[in-house]
Structure 1
Amino acid sequence: MTATAVPQQSVEPVPSRGTLGGDQQSFKERFALSLFIGIPFVALVASVPVLWGWGLTWTDLIIAVVMYAISGHGVTVGFHRLFTHSSFKARRALRVGLAIAGSLAVQGPVIRWVADHRKHHRYSDQDGDPHSPWRYGATVPALIKGMWWAHIGWLFNIEQTNQQQYAPDLLKDQAIVRVSRAFPYLALASLLLPAAVGGLVTWSWQGILTAFFWGSLVRISLLHHTTWSINSICHAIGERPFRSRDRSGNVWWLAVLSMGESWHNLHHSDPTAARHGVLRGQIDSSARIIWVFEKLGWVRDVRWPSPERIAMKQTQAV
């Protein structure tokens, strides 16, 4: 596998305030991270007895699904396939829109996210990978420890990926830098918007509270753990029909929730491909959205994997 090329041109030094987060994670950032992970997770756990006790309204469900789709595809289509791997080129307004949408997932500023992921591809499942589940070895105790690290532990690592080294192209894009700086405000908007919509639709305090619970807390936590499962589960188990230099696998039961990202083996075999679910029956809603954008003329130079390229990378007949 050839990892996504990181632009090597020299750049002027960029101060740490150029985008949120420098090379060291501060105590304040780790504390905020704990809150943004912990509180939604408690809500996700609590959702089962809450749903059993007094239900979930259609308003709450629609708000949660719409917010999940917008913020989730902002990550998969924007943060991942556009900004990290340049799987296609997008008009400026769409680039900014996808950066904002991905920020609503509350997974960190866009430039930090991209830098981390590019580093992951450079060292995938080797020393230097920010979140490999094989970090501590292949024994059962080591893998259990490694799965925890890959899923959530790495987020609290005090050493942060150097953004000037891994994302110099985005640091030159002032519009994306502004979105990255605005992450705290976008995260707050992601929390408050569902409650506001719920209140306006129902015109009640209960509507505000239930929409906040389902559309903000539960939705954010579910998307968090789905995304992190790509780092942990999809690098520990799954089918591997394509050649790659790491242990990335396809996990079918995560495909819908991850919007196609769990077809992870093909992605690591061909990182710049705009479609990850390339085999028959593999659902990839992110690729479908890119296809729609292409038909509308909003994106161009889409790197669709050809049948010949797919066949060349296969390790077995499928």
Structure 2
Amino acid sequence: MTSLAPDRPQSRAAEPATEGRRSTLEHVLVIAFMIVPLLAVAAAVPVAWGWGLGWVDVALFVVFYMVSGLGVTVGYHRHFTHGSFKARRGLRVALAVAGSLALQGSVVSWVADHRRHHAYSDKEGDPHSPWLYGTGPRALVKGFWHSHMGWLLERDKTNARRFAPDLLADPAIRRVGDNFLWFALTSLLLPGLLGGLLTWSVGGALTALLWAGLVRVALLHHVTWSINSVCHIWGDRPFAARDRSANVWWLALLSFGESWHNLHHADPTCARHGAKRGQVDISARLIRIFEVFGWAHSVRWPTTRRLDRLSRGTAVEHAV
């Protein structure tokens, strides 16, 4: 349980952490994916006041939030980034597609950024640590903005050859990554199409596009970004970790268990982040279902002995 990317050559660590800069088009798309969903949230209030919020909108919102959110937490994060479990080919591709629907970047770029985060967590080189500017109030305000959203505006690209060579070597996953924009458009337009068909109205299509498309993406973005910001500043730290990762209970449901962040950084390849009694971890439940059906195997579940060791102050080493 020591490697962030199984079978990754150690010589890769000699390569630089970043490689080149985003193109102007890539930079514009990042800004658009950040801003447009936020504008939709602002528009949603008067829309809800004037037209209401129908059950079709709510149902589509929940379905698309769960599919895209779990695509990130189970797929992008626990499977592709940390190898918490192995998946059959069909499930592996489905998880990459589901994660792409969250509009958080391609599977290759997301994994590369996150592995880089773990390599330098809360130190120089971490792409989104809130502690890079100091510990004073003003520095933390600046750090919070940087870790939550600001880092996305930087144009340096994480070196995927160093941090995600296993994904680059997988033709099916690389193909999903190359088609990220098409999956992003599908994620926004499909809710509108379904809303129009289910209500048989243009109004139903527009409200579904707003709520299950744009507003859903905005909420999921900020929940994910809160793991980078909130969960590295405030919260409980019952396990030994080499950074300031913490557990934030009130984010657990919306983040599908990702906000039990302290154990994750203490033991990055563990498939369950909420390992203590009462810590809801929907992502781990889904992995367990995949395991029962035989779609996932070699799952790295926590053990009592391992948790006791982490509680006593011994963090798990992990390679970069």
Is TM (by shorter chain) over 0.5? yes
Correspondence for 1:182 among 179, 183, 194: 179
Q: Where does the alignment leave 5 or more consecutive residues of structure 2 unmatched?
A: 13-17, 314-320
Cα-to-partner distance string for 1:142-177 (whole Å, 9 max, x where unaligned): 110011010111111111100000000110000000
Partner of 2:160: 163
Cα-to-partner distance string for 1:218-270 (whole Å, 9 max, x where unaligned): 00000000000000000011100000010000000000000000000000000
Residues 1:213 and 1:22: Cα distance change in structure 2 (over 3 Å) = farther
After superposition, the CA RMSD in angstroms is 1.7
CA contact (8 A) 1:4 1:122 kept: no
CA distance in 2, matches of 1:315, 1:58: 49
Shift, 1:50, TM fit:
2.9
CA distance in 2, matches of 1:212, 1:242: 42
- Tell me whether 1:296 sits opposite 2:293 in the alignment: yes
Shift, 1:215, TM fit:
0.6
One-letter identity of the residue aligned with 1:188 = L
CA contact (8 A) 1:236 1:249 kept: yes
One-letter identity of the residue aligned with 1:270 = D
Cα-to-partner distance string for 1:51-91 (whole Å, 9 max, x where unaligned): 23332100000001000000000000000000000000000
One-letter identity of the residue aligned with 2:238 = P
Correspondence for 2:266 among 266, 269, 274: 269
Partner of 2:9: 8
CA contact (8 A) 1:252 1:262 kept: yes
User: How many percent identity over aligned positions?
Assistant: 58
For residue 256 of structure 1, give the secondary structure of its aligned residue in structure 2.
Answer: coil
CA distance in 2, matches of 1:35, 1:160: 18
Correspondence for 1:311 among 308, 313, 320: 308
CA contact (8 A) 1:103 1:110 kept: yes
Partner of 1:242: 239
Number of positions where the alignment pairs a residue of Structure 1 with one of Structure 2: 307
CA contact (8 A) 2:104 2:221 kept: yes
Partner of 1:114: 111
Correspondence for 1:284 among 277, 281, 284: 281
- Tell me whether 1:132 sits opposite 2:129 in the alignment: yes
CA contact (8 A) 1:64 1:214 kept: yes
CA contact (8 A) 2:5 2:83 kept: no
- Tell me whether 1:217 sits opposite 2:214 in the alignment: yes
For residue 156 of structure 2, give the secondary structure of its aligned residue in structure 1.
Answer: coil
Cα-to-partner distance string for 1:169-207 (whole Å, 9 max, x where unaligned): 110000000000000100000010000100110110001
CA distance in 2, matches of 1:209, 1:236: 38
For residue 74 of structure 1, give the secondary structure of its aligned residue in structure 2.
Answer: helix
- Tell me whether 1:196 sits opposite 2:156 in the alignment: no
One-letter identity of the residue aligned with 1:44 = V
Correspondence for 2:142 among 139, 142, 145: 145
Partner of 2:57: 60
Partner of 2:318: none
CA contact (8 A) 2:69 2:220 kept: yes
For residue 137 of structure 1, give the secondary structure of its aligned residue in structure 2.
Answer: coil
Residues 1:10 and 1:177: Cα distance change in structure 2 (over 3 Å) = farther
Give me the TM-score of the superposition, normalised by structure 1.
0.93
Correspondence for 2:227 among 225, 230, 248: 230
Cα-to-partner distance string for 1:12-39 (whole Å, 9 max, x where unaligned): xxxxxxxxx9731112111111111111
CA contact (8 A) 1:3 1:122 kept: no
For residue 160 of structure 1, give the secondary structure of its aligned residue in structure 2.
Answer: strand
One-letter identity of the residue aligned with 2:149 = I
Runs of 4+ in 1 over 2 A off after TM superposition: 1-6, 45-54
